[in-house]
Chains A and B, each alone.
Chain A
Amino acid sequence: MDTLKSAASYVADFISGPMPEVGIVLGSGLGSLADSIENPQVLPYSKIPNFPVSTAVGHKGNFIIGTLSGKTVIAMQGRFHYYEGYPMTIVTMAVRVMFLLGVRTLFVSNAAGGINPEYHIGDLMIINDHISLQPNPLIGPNLDELGPRFPDMTRPYDPALIRKAREIANKLGWSLHEGVYFGDTGPSYETPSEYRFYRTVGGDVVGMSTIPEVIVARHCGMRVFGMSVVTNEASGDFAEDYQNDGEDVVKAADAAASKLTRIFKELIASL
């Protein structure tokens, strides 16, 4: 708790102006939303006491604090993944720091593989639930100051924000998927049999992030909205010479990023 508080007070001292009420986690290749933030104050993670440094492809390592759709927001340009070797307390630390700064609504985004055969590269999916095969970030003594020992996960993704996002998409004439994000640790990509497994049990997309952050955000009572960009099709029938490629992922994510940015901005305006 002291580690969290000292990091939060460092960030609070850095910010000039009002404290952020909305947090945004930008996934692989989705960092460009940060360019829409007005009067940005950029704080590299490396300056924050006890903060780790992000090592993933397509990720920068900054907090960006500024104005988006008339609200004060704090965006994470680059997040921390379990596969990088961090313990879950470090993976989720930034979310708790944002909570301590006053953030009460969290927007999360990620690049994910489509395991629903109807999903294609560049599609957007509203996350309406998740299935986790990652270690639970709340294992260990409970931080009672932040939330309860056994937090409810009946609706990790806020139903009202999901409805609102669908209205926005309808108005713009965009079709969005709504589905289940399946999270595993990585870093090796899934085998065809694992894709089939995840699909059989109800997953629509698969990725290596997001869930730890969402569990920790829900633990401290934040409202959460999440969205995945489908950056590869992981539906099981691959040519023998098919390979998953990190660079392709980043490219497809860039193409969908502008739509995602628009939806996040309009949702933030509606808060």
Chain B
Amino acid sequence: MSEILAPYLKAVEYIRSKSNGVTPEIGVILGSGLGSLGEQIENPSIIPYNEIPGFPVSTAIGHKSRLIIGDLGGKKVVAMQGRFHFYEGYTMEQVTFPIRVLKLLGIKVLFVSNAAGGLNLSYRVGDLMVIKDQINMMPNPLIGPNAEEFGPRFPDMTHPYDVELRRLAFRLAREMGIHLQDGVYVACTGPSYETRAEYKFFRVIGSDAVGMSTVPEVIVARHCGLRVFGMSVITDLAREDMPDDYVTDGEEIVKAANQATSKMTALFEKMIAAI
């Protein structure tokens, strides 16, 4: 067994032993306040992260910290309720550890979701944004010796978000009467929220939404050849023209995410059924 693969395979082995040997084909990462999709999964096997060898423990608010493996939209899926963030102090290797575990479990497609601040002036709280591209202001998770077992030294990022899955999302959303935005996600480390000047900076360079996650996971997923679909729930407005006493509030963001989660859950379920 390769030394690089060993810790990942150990986690895979444990997860298989707790999920009746099910091989999921689709992985889903549920962001802050978006965990309720996990409750739709039928015949679930639930595995807390702290039991899985090699997994760190998530400390972010609005996150539950467990894997749910079961059936959704007629497919075998594995959902991450809670993820690991760079701002928590984890290394990028820890932040992206679960992605490689999911890959080795057998998934071919990864759905990622997050709560994000709307930079695009036409966005409103509660909007769903299909991620069309990303801008990375965090350290690259692939820095270090390349893990050839997973992918190439210099992975392509021309289309990190799968073109066909994006097309599918827009087609299904139209049928369901759900309005979708289509935009670029910029990722910062946090944990302090961005300043107004930073919002303007990110908008000037072409971003539509800003958050503190997702991009490391997507880079690692693309490195190992997974198809990726991403969605941001706009939970607050990242605007410069806020009153003097305006304060960005983490609890409010989780609340807004909870309210938009039913639309996102319904769309993810239909997409998974259609893949």
Could you tell me which A residues sit within 8 Å of B by CB distance? 129-132, 135-136, 138-142, 148-156, 159, 180, 200-203, 215, 218-219
How far, in angstroms, from A75 to B197 measured CA to CA in the complex?
28
Is B151 at the interface (CB under 8 A from chain A)?
A: no
The answer on a CB contact under 8 Å between B196 and A136 is no
In-complex Cβ contact of A151 among B89, B188, B191 (8 A): B191
A138 nearest in chain B by CB position: B191
With A136-B190, A202-B204 known as contacts, the answer to whether A130 contacts B87 (CB < 8 A) is no
Question: Could you name 13 residue pairs across A and B whose Cβ atoms are closer than 8 Å?
Answer: A129-B196, A136-B189, A136-B192, A139-B89, A150-B192, A150-B250, A153-B195, A153-B198, A154-B193, A154-B246, A155-B244, A155-B246, A215-B192
A141, B88: Cβ atoms closer than 8 Å: yes
Known: A141-B89, A200-B204, A201-B200. A130 touches B195 (CB 8 A): yes
- 5 A-B pairs besides A136-B188, A138-B192 with CB distance below 8 A are A129-B197, A132-B198, A136-B190, A139-B89, A153-B198
How many angstroms between the C-alpha atoms of A131 and B240 in the bound complex? Answer: 13
Q: Is the CB of B244 within 8 A of A153?
A: no
A142 to B205 alpha-carbon distance, docked (Å): 31
What A residues does B205 contact at CB under 8 A?
201
Point out the residues of chain B lying under 8 angstroms from A200, CB to CB: 204
Interface string of B159-189 (1 = CB under 8 A from A): 0000000000000000000000000000011
In the complex, whether B13 has a CB less than 8 A from a CB of chain A is no
Which of chain B's residues have a CB closer than 8 A to the CB of A149? Answer: 60-61, 191, 250
CA distance A154 to B245 in the complex (A): 9
**Which one of B60, B242, B244 has the highest number of Cβ atoms from chain A below 10 Å of its Cβ?**
B244
Q: A131 — which chain B residues lie within 8 A by C-beta?
A: 195, 197-198, 201
Q: Which of B188, B197, B244 contacts A202 (CB 8 A)?
A: B197
A155 closest partner in B (C-beta): B244
* CB neighbours of B249 from chain A (8 A): 152
Question: Which residues from chain B sit less than 8 Å from chain A, CB to CB?
Answer: 59-61, 86-89, 188-198, 200-201, 204-205, 242, 244, 246-250
Which residues in B have their C-beta under 8 angstroms from that of A219?
A: 192
A139 to B91, CA, bound (A): 11
Shortest distance from the beta carbon of A200 to any chain B beta carbon, whole Å: 7
Chain A nearest Cβ from B18, distance in angstroms: 28
Given contacts A200-B204, A202-B200, contact A138 B195 (CB under 8 A): no
Given contacts A201-B204, A202-B204, is CB(A150)–CB(B193) below 8 Å? yes
> Known interface pairs A140-B88, A149-B61, A202-B204. Does A130 touch B197 (Cβ–Cβ under 8 Å)?
yes
Question: A150 to B200, Cβ gap below 8 A?
Answer: no
Which A residues are CB-close (under 8 A) to B195?
A: 129-132, 153-154, 156
Distance (Å) between the CB of B256 and the closest chain A CB?
A: 14
Known contacts A152-B247, A154-B242, A200-B204; A142/B198 CB under 8 A: no
A136 contacts B87, CB within 8 Å? yes
Q: How far is the CA of A149 from the CA of B247 in the complex (A)?
A: 14
Complex Cα distance A136/B87, Å? Answer: 8
B193 to A, closest residue via Cβ = A153
State in angstroms the CA–CA spacing of A203 and B244 once bound together.
Answer: 21
Instruction: Determine how close the nearest CB of chain A comes to the CB of B11; give it in whole angstroms.
Output: 23
Distance in Å: Cβ of A149 to nearest Cβ of chain B: 6
B185–chain A nearest beta-carbon distance, Å: 18
Chain A residues with CB under 8 A of B61: 149
| Cα–Cα distance between A132 and B194 once the two chains are bound (Å) | 9
List B contacts of A154 (CB < 8 A).
193, 195-196, 242, 246-248
Kindly state the separation between the CA atoms of A51 and B129 in the bound complex, as whole angstroms. Answer: 47
Given known contacts A138-B192, A219-B192, A152 and B248 CB-to-CB distance under 8 angstroms? yes
Instruction: Report A-chain residues with C-beta under 8 Å of the C-beta of B204.
Output: 200-202
- Judging by beta carbons under 8 Å apart, are A139 and B189 in contact? yes
Q: Which residues of B lie under 8 Å from residue A129 when comparing CB positions?
A: 195-197
- What is the distance, in angstroms, from A156's C-beta to the closest C-beta of chain B? 6
